[in-house]
Homo-oligomer: A and B are copies of this chain.
Amino acid sequence: MVTMSTVQAEEHREREMLRGVGLRVTQPRVAVLGALRRHPHADASAILGAVRQAVPSVSHQAVYDCLHALTESGLVRSIQPAGSPARYEIRRNDNHHHLVCRGCGEVVDIPCQTGSAPCLHTDDDHGYAIDEAEVYFWGLCPACQAGHATRPTEFPTQSHRDREDQK
């Protein structure tokens, strides 16, 4: 039996994932999955950059197409925190949520306390068929608390959530 490098093994798994959901196995798709494995929560342009290390000729459109195909197939999950371009991560079916830094935009995963979707309930669903409760926690990361914000400070939105008048 021939030994396999981890890189090879991971790429192999990514091909499997694609086949598993009935998607054709193409260089860009494998590269996009690889980029997402190494850079969770990356946005389209970061992914494009990462993919081009492996395949310098990919077009930005190919990346968008891949991301759409992957998202639709359920392999990838996209999140869009207010004020940020869409970000992507490989879907693990643990229904976790996200914590976003208002200063630098960094995103970290927050496990769902209440188990599986839709993890939150309402008394009045207005007749809707609700299938998901998506949660964004907002705050300041340690670096930004220390005054090292790396962008204009504050997101365009939600900068002034309920203040002292709350409660």
Interface on A for B, CB 8 Å cutoff?
68, 71-74, 77-80, 82-83, 86, 91, 93, 95, 99, 101, 108, 110-111, 113, 115-118, 120-142, 145, 154-163, 165-167
Contacts of A154 in B (CB 8 A): 72
Is the CB–CB distance between A101 and B128 below 8 Å?
yes
Is the CB–CB distance between A134 and B132 below 8 Å?
no
Contacts of A166 in B (CB 8 A): 93, 95, 116-117
Contacts of A108 in B (CB 8 A): 126, 128
Contacts of A93 in B (CB 8 A): 162, 165-166
Interface of A is mostly: loop
Is the CB–CB distance between A122 and B138 below 8 Å?
no
Q: How far is the CA of A93 from the CA of B75 in the complex (A)?
A: 38
Q: Contacts A72-B159, A113-B122 known; A136 to B134 CB distance under 8 Å?
A: yes
| CB-based nearest B residue for A78 | B157
Q: How far is the CB of A57 from chain B (nearest CB, A)?
A: 26
